[in-house]
């Protein structure tokens, strides 16, 4: 179910006005945090400070770097030859299927700012 809280739901008592107030407070705090991050980035680049810890948050400056990613779309289209340990025969397998792993993701709440 992918429903948005509406004014009508507030009128019906399904959601409270507080929901909208919290969202507005969050937006204001998020905007202020963006300013704080920008200022910390400038300070870090100017002074070499890499980390700032408070009772409420930790900010870490991460310098520009190069990241490496696996091209999963290409990997899904590639086959590899694997030696079957039981039969000693070579088997052709999909590379993505052979190397993929699964992990359990716990139930959680996520949010994303709309720009």
Number of Cβ atoms within 10 Å of the Cβ of 43: 14
With contact defined as beta carbons under 8 Å apart, do 78 and 95 qualify? yes
Q: Is the pLDDT of residue 1 over 60?
A: no
The total number of residues shown for the chain amounts to: 115
Model confidence pLDDT, tens digit, residues 17-42: 777 788 789 889 989 989 999 999 99
With contact defined as beta carbons under 8 Å apart, do 112 and 99 qualify? no
Ordered DSSP codes for 28-42: HHHHHHHHHHHHHHH
3-class secondary structure, 89 = coil
3-class secondary structure, 92 = strand
114's tokens: 């709309």
Model confidence pLDDT, tens digit, residues 29-85: 989 989 999 999 999 999 999 999 888 889 999 999 999 999 999 999 999 999 999
**Residues near 62 by Cβ (< 8 Å), separated by ≥ 6?**
none
């Amino acid at each position: 179910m992918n429903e948005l809280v509406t004014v009508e739901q507030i009128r019906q008592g399904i959601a409270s006005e507080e929901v909208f107030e919290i969202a507005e407070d969050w937006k204001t705090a998020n905007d202020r945090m963006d300013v704080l991050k920008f200022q910390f980035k400038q300070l870090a680049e100017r002074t070499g400070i890499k980390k700032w810890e408070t009772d409420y948050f930790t900010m870490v400056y991460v310098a520009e770097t190069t990241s490496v990613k696996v091209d999963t779309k290409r990997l899904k289209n590639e086959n590899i030859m694997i030696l079957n340990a039981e039969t000693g025969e070579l088997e052709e397998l999909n590379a993505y299927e052979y190397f993929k792993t699964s992990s359990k993701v716990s139930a959680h709440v996520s949010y994303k700012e709309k720009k």
